[in-house]
Structure 1
Amino acid sequence: MLLLERYDLFSPLDYRYIDGGLAKKAIPFLSENARIAYQARVEAALVKALAKQGICSEKTAREVAKAAENVSAAEVYAEEAKIRHDVRALANVLRSKVGEDAKRFIHFSATSYDIVDTASALRYKETTEKLVIPELKKLLSVWIDIALREKGTLQIGRTHGQHAEPITFGFAMCGYINRLGEMIGSLECFASRMEGKFSGAVGAYNASSLLVKDPQKLEDDIMEELGLQHAMHSTQIVEPE
């Protein structure tokens, strides 16, 4: 039996079903440890973008990136119990893992949902691209094999639910193959368009505009590092649609 800690779980049903292959594969994307890890990646991407703008050094960016790889949900929850703020708790844990010169650049000019919404977009994108779509393509391949194998297997075709004209089972399978293929294409499109933000507490770049001449370029640099699009418009959050 797979032994898990509480922060490896992502569903109330995990205690019963987590030994299954797909659920186990989802742990690096959807567990609580994963949620914290993705938020830490966004914090590291911010510092790397600051280095690109000349606000901090490349050495600082590397130091924060290394720290971000070694943050656990347990540490963040312990800090949150003290200060009662989840994202500030993450920032504090990251600061505890870097030197004095790097501390001030962690979460620099960010609002909480610059981190939270961007991290959510990133993990849903990667869950879709690295887990969901590959599994669906495996299923699609199985269906294609069945369709080819059964291309001569006769069955009755139906219209309005009633027996109509003869078709083959392979032909019937092609309908499902086409529909699943379209769904996979749609998922690929949606994943490629996932949006993050670094536009501040009201979406108007107020804080970051005090740091750089072009705050939207800073946002673009962060999103490019993460492989996301920037939201065309945001408030405190990315528009949920």
Structure 2
Amino acid sequence: MTDRTSYEAVSPLDGRYARYTEPLTAYVGERALMRTRVEVEVEYLIALADLDVTPLAIDEQQRAHLRALYESFDAEDAEVVKQLETTGYGEYEATNHDVKAVEYFIRDGLPAGLDCAEWIHFGLTSEDVNNLAYRLLVGPAVTEVLVPSLREARDALAAMAQEYRDLPMLARTHGQPATPTTFGKEMAVYASRLGQQLGRIEAAAGSLSGKLAGASGTYAAHDVAYPNVDWRSFSRAFVDGLGLDHEPLTTQVNPCDDLAELFDALRGANNVLLDLDVDMWLYVSDRYLGQEAVEGETGSSTMPHKVNPIDFENSEGNLSKANADLGFLGEYLTRSRLQRDLSDSTVKRNIGAAFGHCLIGYEKLQTGLSKVVPNEQVMAEDLESTPEILGEAVQTILRREGHTDAYERVKTLTRGEDVTLADFQELFGTLDVPAEVREELQALTPAEYTGVGASMVDDIDG
């Protein structure tokens, strides 16, 4: 094996960004896959011993010894498995087959007195082991690493929403000044959307399915050896016992529709955060948000004054890459030529890369959120300088009072024009409305025209 420093890594996930992706290595690294394959093989061997028809007997001490093969699986064990596959190890020549290498690893580690090498991997195809192992890793990678990071982002947004629920801010639709909102309400929108997507992700991660049905999904090898065993029930019990849903009808390959659903759910959350990244970037650009300068940090190699929104930009880039990978995985893994082809094997090894870009995107977003502070003065000045946004309020009140030409009159005054509050006051003076209505109109200000935006913060889902 070639030893590389992080500076020589082919991928930035294991180089520049290794400190961010470290939490995923226990779930998506090669060693993790080896360990979990050992787990599936060992538990299957023990399940075979529990069948009355097999001559296989494994006592409690031997079971503990077998389970220790995966429970204490370490870097040295991983090196042994890799040698079994690539160069040979001990009495074994190189298998050039990763699952067969795991089988030989277990053979070599059998406890004294347990002669059962022929029962390891009995009746199985590699896909029986791999589809289970991947799901035993993918599920926790999502629930134990990605979901907590997403929930931290959601909680940060919810906290910002509460803190700035009453802060008025000019909205923009089509990039143009529009009916004011509050900064807190806008953050609440993202917190709520992200909470909903988290529900989708957790549901998908909790519904991963596994198969154990042999080379063509027919239990043929099992059935020919022991035709009186209900192998479908055995398979269901075994897969359920691993904490997965049983997939009863498959080819050699688990169709991966469950993984595609999970990847799509992750893409849904990522799309919410991509939308947020861009909006936060624009708020910084408009000076609605200020950024805390980090001591010693350089914003530009030539412009010393700059504090760039690099965390939102980094998050945007990584989440875009993650979504491209997740979309590819979901599309590719749900297809297989006839009953099996091997192209999915190398593709599945990229699940970790997709998750890595997700995690970097989530962490960078949180860093960006922690640095920004609303610039209340700029927001107030922007509101004061765009009184034309009151046109909606004025024409709506006039409609209420029965003025059929309300929209047209306000449109003539405001559309494409530089309007002042004095212009509105002049319009109000010409209106045939009761005094209390004129007072109502005269009291309108952009900063107070935010509807029930502040109270909507309490509607955050998730």
Calculate the TM-score normalised by the size of structure 1.
0.88
Where does residue 68 of structure 2 map in the other structure? 66
Amino acid at match of 1:166: P
SS at match of 1:207: helix
Aligned length: 232
Whole-angstrom CA distance in 2 between matches of 1:58 and 1:235 = 35
Residue 153 to residue 160, structure 1, CA distance change in 2 (3 Å): same
- What are the superposed Cα offsets for residues 163-213 of structure 1, whole Å, 9 maximum, x if unpaired? 221111111011111211121111111111111111000011112233461
Whole-angstrom CA distance in 2 between matches of 1:190 and 1:88 = 31
Post-superposition offset of 1:240: 2.7
Whole-angstrom CA distance in 2 between matches of 1:51 and 1:163 = 72
- What are the superposed Cα offsets for residues 20-68 of structure 1, whole Å, 9 maximum, x if unpaired? 3xx1111101111111111111112212322343444353443322223
Whole-angstrom CA distance in 2 between matches of 1:187 and 1:104 = 41
For the Cα contact (< 8 Å) 1:64–1:102, is it kept in 2?
Answer: no
2:46 is aligned, of 45, 48, 55, to: 48
Residue 215 to residue 62, structure 1, CA distance change in 2 (3 Å): farther
Whole-angstrom CA distance in 2 between matches of 1:58 and 1:152 = 67
For the Cα contact (< 8 Å) 2:36–2:70, is it kept in 1?
Answer: no
Post-superposition offset of 1:11: 7.4
- What are the superposed Cα offsets for residues 118-162 of structure 1, whole Å, 9 maximum, x if unpaired? 111111111111111111111111111111111011112233443
Higher mean C-alpha deviation, range 218-227 or range 203-212: 203-212
1:115 is aligned, of 106, 118, 129, to: 129
Does residue 232 (structure 1) correspond to residue 233 (structure 2)? The answer is: no
SS at match of 2:170: strand
Higher mean C-alpha deviation, range 172-181 or range 54-63: 54-63
Where does residue 77 of structure 1 map in the other structure? 82
Amino acid at match of 2:41: E
Post-superposition offset of 1:16: 2.4
Q: How does 1:11-30 map to 2 (within 5 A)?
A: 12-13=11-12, 14-20=14-20, 23-30=21-28
For the Cα contact (< 8 Å) 2:36–2:133, is it kept in 1?
Answer: yes
Higher mean C-alpha deviation, range 55-64 or range 160-169: 55-64
Does residue 203 (structure 1) correspond to residue 202 (structure 2)? The answer is: no
Whole-angstrom CA distance in 2 between matches of 1:197 and 1:28 = 23
Whole-angstrom CA distance in 2 between matches of 1:74 and 1:27 = 16
Does residue 38 (structure 1) correspond to residue 52 (structure 2)? The answer is: no
- Segments of structure 2 that go 5 or more residues without pairing to the other structure are 87-93, 258-462
For the Cα contact (< 8 Å) 1:40–1:69, is it kept in 2?
Answer: no
Give the structure with higher Rg (CA).
2
- Segments of structure 1 that go 5 or more residues without pairing to the other structure are none
Higher mean C-alpha deviation, range 55-64 or range 37-46: 55-64
Post-superposition offset of 1:79: 0.5
Where does residue 141 of structure 1 map in the other structure? 155
Whole-angstrom CA distance in 2 between matches of 1:58 and 1:208 = 23
Where does residue 92 of structure 1 map in the other structure? 104
Amino acid at match of 1:90: V
Calculate the TM-score normalised by the size of structure 2.
0.47
For the Cα contact (< 8 Å) 1:68–1:94, is it kept in 2?
Answer: no
Amino acid at match of 1:222: F
Amino acid at match of 2:19: D
Amino acid at match of 2:253: I
Higher mean C-alpha deviation, range 81-90 or range 48-57: 48-57
Does residue 178 (structure 1) correspond to residue 177 (structure 2)? The answer is: no
- What are the superposed Cα offsets for residues 218-238 of structure 1, whole Å, 9 maximum, x if unpaired? 212221222111113211110
Does residue 215 (structure 1) correspond to residue 231 (structure 2)? The answer is: yes
SS at match of 1:12: coil
Residue 138 to residue 102, structure 1, CA distance change in 2 (3 Å): farther
Whole-angstrom CA distance in 2 between matches of 1:175 and 1:53 = 55
Higher mean C-alpha deviation, range 163-172 or range 98-107: 98-107
Amino acid at match of 1:16: R
Percent identity of paired positions between Structure 1 and Structure 2: 28
